[in-house]
Structure 1
Amino acid sequence: MVLHILKKDLRRNKGIGAVLFIFILLSAFLAAAGSNMIASLAGSLDNLFEKARVPHFVQMHAGSLDENQITSWMAAGGFAEEYQVVRMVSLDGTSLGFNGRYDGEENSIMDISFVKQNTGFDFLLDTGNDVFRPATGEIGVPVYYMERDGLKIGDTLAVTQGRFSAEYTIAGFIRDAQMNPAMVHSKRFVLNDRDFETLSREIPEYEYLIEVRLWDTNRLAEFQAAYQESSLPKNGPAVDYTLFRMINALNDGLIAAVIILVSLLLNIIAILCLRFVMIAAIEEDYREIGVMKAIGLKLRDIKRIYLAKYVCISAAACIAGCAAAFAVKEPFTANIMVYLGAAPVTLLNTLLPPGLVLCVFAMVVFCSWLVLRRFNTLSAVEAIRSGTAGKTGTVRTKILALRKNRHTPVPLFLGLRDLVLRFGSFGLLFFVFAAASFVILVPVNFLNTIRSPSFIRYMGMGKSDIHIDIRQGSDTGERFGEVIESLRLDPDAALISPHVTGTFRILGGDGTAESINIETGDFTVFPLEYFAGKPPVEGDEIALSYLRAEELDKTIGDTLTLFHGGAEYTLTVTGIYQDITNGGRTAKAPLRLPPENTLWYTVSLGLKPGADIGGKALELSRRFPGVRVTNLDSYLSQTLGSTIGQLRLLAGLAFFISAALSVLITSLFLKMIIAKESSRIGILKSLGFSETAVKFEYAVKAVAVLILGIVLGTVFSNTAGQGLVAAAWSLMGAPGIRLVINPVQAYILCPLALLAAVSATAAISLRRIRTVTIRGSVSE
């Protein structure tokens, strides 16, 4: 009997069933899509690191070295299972020409090195995650360039530097577990061994990677301390396995976190919409429910009929949502597939998305059971007599009496009055609109933040017009001096701030000496925006990045011990700034001491008003060959381009889903209200109110609730949304990130689009009022 009634009910209420199906499908889809992205990221990252055999510790070094010294130290230390010294040939980006074009790297921020394939570990993989082994005349190009320039297999790459010239055929695109992401400003190209030896003889500009895989990764900190205490080469930053994982997961992990946040909020909205659907269905069937109870059907049997309906619908919707998430997962995981590759299917990939979908199903069934408890207080006589659940909804109060109204049109007054006196009845609708606004605005504001030029403040840099970077080489110091002297004579230059980054030794948080890279110079010319404190000005002051301060357990006013030339110096921490580059672990100080090892030189340049920033950057890159010159916009787009693209997709998806949910919930809510207040509507018609006037009253309620919801959603997006974004970015070194709000988008375009969608839905849904007769019944 239950199955027979269920089939008839589904045929009779196709619309209600379809709406329920859509809501639950969206909930399941979002849960499965978000979890699938997390599982894909984790699996692909593990697979890439396993296939590449990523080193546990890497010391970068610019300059000559003695490999025998390294061999002796590694053998005596007992830490290393394997080690190798990787020689890289450093090239100026302007020496490269893809398909005959040499202008692609003029404003590039990337440091380019050519290498041959490693033999023991740290393998450079192709797009199938196999070790890439080019033939003579072939080259492997990082996937970054494939994405940026649209390169394909068979294209050519020419190298012209000095008297040397060679052309290679692109035979593959390289995944480099150390240098994959755009946020890492170093890239390795892979040559055949013979071609590499030829290149290294012609262009003897070398840098080295001293790479180690440990017997016991739990001793990594101990090994790092021992290495820093030794006299081994260390003219460059040291990085470890943990940092490699973080930088590879950073972009996609950030997007996945935003998707999970949006899906959580939309799931809440979907559950509320489900409640609306069920209440609307019960309102429509109230007389039939009363009849079933009157003829002797037990209450639990009536509940079983409805619960069976929602179990069937939710089960079908959850299966469809899960399948849809797997079917369209490509846009969500496209960046992961390009930079990390597909991983073998694991238990996590198999069980996590269906597991979360099963949770959605359980929540739906539980919510259905809670709503059906209202049957316990159902009166069969009242249900058969009135056909509605309880009272007509008329508010018996003298507050805001109609007779006192003199100026406001009656339908408008009645609509606002009813909303004020019965706002609790509209509370859920209000919450849905507020949540929809929140879901729309947070991704939009986050996208605007990353695209904004002010985002540079979270990358450990002052806001200048042009950034000049001179990497270490045999004549770097001389070139640095030439660049500064030339800029001082440039008529367009207004402010010049040179900086030198080098290695110093300090007393670490565990009481042992450790190496730290400190940028030295004047930090008042292009000041950073400090999370706490102020810039270092005196020679005994230092500013730390947020993560470095956390690591050293230092705050404003604390002291650091610096070792130099056999002497100890005490530095006072005056500022803590935000920095998501270099693993978020940097420091700045106006030291008068030369570093133990100079890593790189930079110059920040401010131009006079009216100067062409892009044109000047291009002019300087040609004036200073071998020097990296970038303007601010180019720096941000090259570093965060893929993240911006994914966020743009996410913002569009969040807007579409939120608007669709708002439209559906408006339709369902008005349908429920009309069914519940059919007697009141009949009374209004009998008193002479036109159909248009009655529609206007209900439209006023819906639009007023929407406007209030948009206001609350906007406030929360600027407060709670700000806090959520800051909490996520604190893991990367920017806990004080401030959302950049585009007033036109946030306060005009998005609200107007939502308002237009809801208003149009209200106009269509309120046509149902014409079917309400003067007696208060609904004619079909």
Structure 2
Amino acid sequence: MLIKMLKKDYNRKKSITITLFFFIMLSALLVASGSNMIVELSNSLQTLFTKSNTPHFVQMHAGEINQSEIDAFTSENRHVKSQQTVEMINVGGSNLYLGDSSTPEVSSVMDHYFVRKNDSFDFLLDLESEVIEVDSGEIAVPIYNMQQNNLEIGDNVRVAGEDFEMKFTVVDFVRDAQMNPSIINSKRFVVNEEDFAMLQRNFGESEYLIEFLLTDLDQLTDFRNAYQSSNLPMAGPSVDFPLFQTLNGLTDGIVAVVVILVSLLLILLAILCIRFTLLAAMEEDYREIGIMKAIGIEQNAIKKLYLWKYVIIAAIASITGYLLSLFINPLFTGNIMLYLGTAEKSMLLSVIPILAVSLVFLIVVSYCMLVLRRFNKITVVKALRSGNIGDVQTRVTFLALSKNRLGNINIFLGVKDVFQRFKIYLLLFFVFLVCAFIMIVPINLLRTIQSPSFSTYMGIEQSDIRIDLQLSDDINQDFNNMLDYIENDRDVEQFSPMVTSLYEFINSDRNLEKMAIETGDYSIFSLKYLEGSPPLNENEIALSYLNSSELSKGIGDNLMLILDGDTREMVVSGIFQDVTNGGRTAKAMLPINEEAALWYEVSLNLKPGVSINEKMVEYSNAFYPAKVTDLEGYLTDTFGNTIDQLRLVTILAIMIALFIAVLITALFTRMLIAKDSQQIAVMKSIGFTLNDIRLQYATRTMSVLIIGIILGTIIANTIGEQLVSVFMSLMGASKIEFVIDPMLAYFLFPLLLMITVTITTLRSTASIKNTSIAEMRA
């Protein structure tokens, strides 16, 4: 009997059943894929860090080192398990040619370091996650450059100077636990020992990674403080194991969280949809339910007849969604496999997605049981007397037909029905709100990251061109010559030189620590501050968000700096966001500490009409080996991989939002027509045409859609910004402000959603022509 009832119900409500099936299936598919992605990301990260034996603390240093002093510090520090110093040869972009390109990497913001195979730890891995071995004349290229320059095995890499040239053949690509992500502006190329020595003799620009493995990672903070309090080399940023994990997992982690967030929203929509479906079914079968109760069928038995339909639909849809996820997973995990490698398949990889899909099934069934409690309110007398549950309508006095000011009577009746039965339309309203949210947040985030103003979240003042000068023996002379050149350049409107150096300060424990502080004039180029203002006096300092949090310093608090052996009391004037150099930086108007200088840079604006590209070429030749970039190029190189992943998520989100809108609009409209069949028949009998009634239903959905889009946009620009800020705060940007393209966010995509919903509504109302008074009386 149950099977016969299910078949009959399916044939009677085929479109609704299929729509609901796909909806639950899509929820199961996405939650399975999202949870699989998180497990894969976690496993791959763990495998990469294990196989590469990633260091726990790394200090970059440009300049000479004394290894015996490092060894002495290592032997005296009980936290150190192992130490190694990695020498790297910095090859300027103007000397590096990748693939068949005849143009050097002069416009790249990346530092290109040539290294040898490490002996103790920090191993560089190939695409099979094995330690890279190369012979003379061979080279292993970072995965980042493989993607950016479309390199393949067998391509050439050329290093050329004025009277020197070396040619390498690409034999592998590098997985680098330290420098994998595009947000890290350093990349390591692996060459043979002999070739390294040849490069060392001809370039001689060596930098160092002073690396430590600790006996206990929990002691990382104590070790960092001990190192920074020492006199060991520190002419460069320091990074640690937790930051490596965050940076490697950031891009794919965001994608995974977005996928799971969408799946959770779909589950919520699915159960609301089921609620409406069940109530509509109970409405249609109200008299039959009363008859079944009257002839003695138990209430629980009646509930089970309705429940089993949704149990079967949810079970089949959940299983189908899980099976489809097995084929879809490579689309989501492809970037993880490329950058982090494939981990051994653990039980969690199978168990977690199955548990996630089972949770979808349980949520759907549990909610069905909750809705079916309404059977307790149905009495035999009431069901047989009225024959329907009846709508609870709100009395809307300000929309009386006699006061119609909308002109078209059908549009007026459509709007009136929305206000009169708004409780029924809440489901549709919530769906449209979520669709708008799902579409707008990824679009706004993508636009924000692509915008030049995103540089303000990297602690960089917005300007036309940025010039970075690396440390060398003659850097002070080179820097002064560069400033003289720019000052005499009539194409330059304004410029601001900046020097970042290490300064000592006294922490809350009265111990000495070191901090990278940028010095310069901050009245020229603007930077958005979370709180306060830029340092404009010699006793003021602005801290990055992470520095402010770790030091527990706010606006007006004091910080004791050590300058030339004397103590200077600095006042915190502002807090800014910075996702570079570990997010721990500061800005002040201090005397330049040339002995502890880390890097030199100049920001400048050109006069109107001057070509930025031509000026970049001029400066690249004049200031060699300085890196000359525009902010758009800087952001593309730094966040290129993140932008590509986010673009994929944005396209997927738009498709899902439109699909949701089509499914729910079709389901809702058809159920509403079934519910209003008697009213429709009456309207046709008094002269309303089919087009009149279809226009009324289109007006109802469009009215709800417009309200949903407006509120969805507001929520996307408030709660959406806050959600993005939570993720970015892990890197040092705690407050993201969306850069919104009004044409896309407020016109094009809402219009696309409106067109989709209107077409779906009109197609769904085609069944109205079959409704008549004669059928209703029958």
Distance verdict in 2 for CA 1:184–1:293, change over 3 Å: same
The aligned counterpart of 1:171 is 171
Instruction: Give the conservation status (yes or no) of the 8 Å contact 2:411–2:695.
Output: yes
Cα offset for 1:646?
A: 1.4
Query: Aligned partners of 1:28, 1:155: CA distance in 2, in Å?
Result: 43
The aligned counterpart of 1:638 is 637
The aligned counterpart of 1:492 is 491
Give runs of aligned pairs for residues 629-778 of structure 1, distance below 5 A. Answer: 629-775=628-774, 777=776
Cα offset for 1:777?
A: 2.5
For residues 634-667 of structure 1, give each alpha carbon's deviation from its aligned partner in whole angstroms, at most 9, with x where no partner exists: 0111111111111111111111111111122111
For residues 293-314 of structure 1, give each alpha carbon's deviation from its aligned partner in whole angstroms, at most 9, with x where no partner exists: 4443222112112211111111
Could you tell me the TM-score, scaled by structure 2's length? 0.96
Query: Aligned partners of 2:38, 2:352: CA distance in 1, in Å?
Result: 9
Distance verdict in 2 for CA 1:762–1:470, change over 3 Å: same
For residues 437-468 of structure 1, give each alpha carbon's deviation from its aligned partner in whole angstroms, at most 9, with x where no partner exists: 11111111111111111111111011110000
The aligned counterpart of 1:587 is 586
Distance verdict in 2 for CA 1:417–1:776, change over 3 Å: farther
Query: Aligned partners of 1:228, 1:726: CA distance in 2, in Å?
Result: 30
The aligned counterpart of 1:432 is 431
SS for the counterpart of 1:777 is helix
Distance verdict in 2 for CA 1:394–1:529, change over 3 Å: closer
Cα offset for 1:624?
A: 2.0
Q: Do residues 310 (structure 1) and 301 (structure 2) align?
A: no
The aligned counterpart of 1:337 is 337
Q: Do residues 576 (structure 1) and 564 (structure 2) align?
A: no
Instruction: Give the conservation status (yes or no) of the 8 Å contact 1:726–1:736.
Output: yes
Query: Aligned partners of 1:62, 1:395: CA distance in 2, in Å?
Result: 74
Distance verdict in 2 for CA 1:722–1:232, change over 3 Å: closer
Distance verdict in 2 for CA 1:269–1:632, change over 3 Å: same
The aligned counterpart of 1:57 is 57
Instruction: Give the conservation status (yes or no) of the 8 Å contact 1:266–1:658.
Output: no
Cα offset for 1:778?
A: 9.6
Deviates more, 1:520-529 or 1:214-223: 214-223
Give runs of aligned pairs for residues 361-380 of structure 1, distance below 5 A. Answer: 361-379=361-379
Instruction: Give the conservation status (yes or no) of the 8 Å contact 1:205–1:473.
Output: yes
The aligned counterpart of 1:92 is 92
SS for the counterpart of 2:578 is coil
The aligned counterpart of 2:297 is 297
Give runs of aligned pairs for residues 255-334 of structure 1, distance below 5 A. Answer: 255-334=255-334
SS for the counterpart of 1:605 is strand
Deviates more, 1:503-512 or 1:155-164: 503-512
Q: Which amino acid aligns with 2:63?
A: G
Cα offset for 1:162?
A: 3.1
Q: How many residues align?
A: 778
Cα offset for 1:170?
A: 0.5
Cα offset for 1:502?
A: 1.1
For residues 138-165 of structure 1, give each alpha carbon's deviation from its aligned partner in whole angstroms, at most 9, with x where no partner exists: 1110000001011111111111123221
For residues 569-627 of structure 1, give each alpha carbon's deviation from its aligned partner in whole angstroms, at most 9, with x where no partner exists: 21111111111111211111110252541111101111001111122112211222211
SS for the counterpart of 2:773 is coil
The aligned counterpart of 1:41 is 41
For residues 520-554 of structure 1, give each alpha carbon's deviation from its aligned partner in whole angstroms, at most 9, with x where no partner exists: 11111112111111111122211100111001110
Query: Aligned partners of 1:397, 1:68: CA distance in 2, in Å?
Result: 86
Deviates more, 1:25-34 or 1:726-735: 726-735
Deviates more, 1:529-538 or 1:342-351: 342-351
Instruction: Give the conservation status (yes or no) of the 8 Å contact 1:679–1:776.
Output: no
Could you tell me the TM-score, scaled by structure 1's length? 0.96
The aligned counterpart of 1:418 is 417
The aligned counterpart of 2:133 is 133
SS for the counterpart of 1:114 is strand
Distance verdict in 2 for CA 1:591–1:279, change over 3 Å: same
Query: Aligned partners of 1:173, 1:566: CA distance in 2, in Å?
Result: 48
Q: Which amino acid aligns with 2:177?
A: A
Deviates more, 1:123-132 or 1:72-81: 72-81
For residues 733-765 of structure 1, give each alpha carbon's deviation from its aligned partner in whole angstroms, at most 9, with x where no partner exists: 222211111111111111111111111111111
Give runs of aligned pairs for residues 496-575 of structure 1, distance below 5 A. Answer: 496-575=495-574
Instruction: Give the conservation status (yes or no) of the 8 Å contact 1:252–1:336.
Output: yes
Instruction: Give the conservation status (yes or no) of the 8 Å contact 2:499–2:592.
Output: no
Cα offset for 1:469?
A: 0.3
The aligned counterpart of 1:191 is 191
Instruction: Give the conservation status (yes or no) of the 8 Å contact 1:272–1:432.
Output: no
Q: Which amino acid aligns with 1:551?
A: E
The aligned counterpart of 1:479 is 478
For residues 89-118 of structure 1, give each alpha carbon's deviation from its aligned partner in whole angstroms, at most 9, with x where no partner exists: 111111111234242412110111111000
Instruction: Give the conservation status (yes or no) of the 8 Å contact 1:182–1:638.
Output: yes
Distance verdict in 2 for CA 1:605–1:685, change over 3 Å: same
Instruction: Give the conservation status (yes or no) of the 8 Å contact 2:238–2:582.
Output: no
The aligned counterpart of 1:409 is 408
Deviates more, 1:197-206 or 1:253-262: 253-262
For residues 343-367 of structure 1, give each alpha carbon's deviation from its aligned partner in whole angstroms, at most 9, with x where no partner exists: 2223432222222211111110011
Distance verdict in 2 for CA 1:105–1:484, change over 3 Å: same
Deviates more, 1:63-72 or 1:307-316: 63-72
The aligned counterpart of 2:603 is 604
SS for the counterpart of 1:556 is coil
Distance verdict in 2 for CA 1:383–1:665, change over 3 Å: farther
Q: Do residues 622 (structure 1) and 621 (structure 2) align?
A: yes
RMSD: 2.1
Instruction: Give the conservation status (yes or no) of the 8 Å contact 1:286–1:383.
Output: yes
Deviates more, 1:136-145 or 1:216-225: 216-225
For residues 643-701 of structure 1, give each alpha carbon's deviation from its aligned partner in whole angstroms, at most 9, with x where no partner exists: 11111111111111111111221112222222122221122122222222222222211
SS for the counterpart of 1:82 is strand
Q: Which amino acid aligns with 1:327?
A: F
Distance verdict in 2 for CA 1:177–1:767, change over 3 Å: same
Q: Which amino acid aligns with 1:193?
A: E
Query: Aligned partners of 1:13, 1:322: CA distance in 2, in Å?
Result: 25
Distance verdict in 2 for CA 1:709–1:376, change over 3 Å: same
Deviates more, 1:603-612 or 1:288-297: 288-297
Cα offset for 1:418?
A: 2.2
Query: Aligned partners of 2:270, 2:476: CA distance in 1, in Å?
Result: 62
Distance verdict in 2 for CA 1:347–1:563, change over 3 Å: farther
Query: Aligned partners of 2:395, 2:200: CA distance in 1, in Å?
Result: 91
Query: Aligned partners of 1:422, 1:368: CA distance in 2, in Å?
Result: 23
Cα offset for 1:183?
A: 0.8
Cα offset for 1:64?
A: 1.6
Query: Aligned partners of 2:681, 2:385: CA distance in 1, in Å?
Result: 16
Query: Aligned partners of 1:251, 1:414: CA distance in 2, in Å?
Result: 49
User: Could you list the runs of 5+ residues in structure 2 that have no partner in the other structure?
Assistant: none
Distance verdict in 2 for CA 1:546–1:695, change over 3 Å: same
Q: Which amino acid aligns with 2:85?
A: V
Q: Which amino acid aligns with 1:586?
A: T
SS for the counterpart of 2:776 is coil
Deviates more, 1:184-193 or 1:400-409: 400-409
The aligned counterpart of 2:204 is 204
SS for the counterpart of 2:659 is helix
Deviates more, 1:245-254 or 1:135-144: 245-254
Query: Aligned partners of 1:102, 1:116: CA distance in 2, in Å?
Result: 26
Q: Which amino acid aligns with 1:198?
A: M
Query: Aligned partners of 1:594, 1:634: CA distance in 2, in Å?
Result: 30
For residues 415-451 of structure 1, give each alpha carbon's deviation from its aligned partner in whole angstroms, at most 9, with x where no partner exists: 2222222222212211111121111111111111111
Instruction: Give the conservation status (yes or no) of the 8 Å contact 1:507–1:560.
Output: yes
Q: Which amino acid aligns with 1:107?
A: S
Q: Which amino acid aligns with 1:36?
A: N
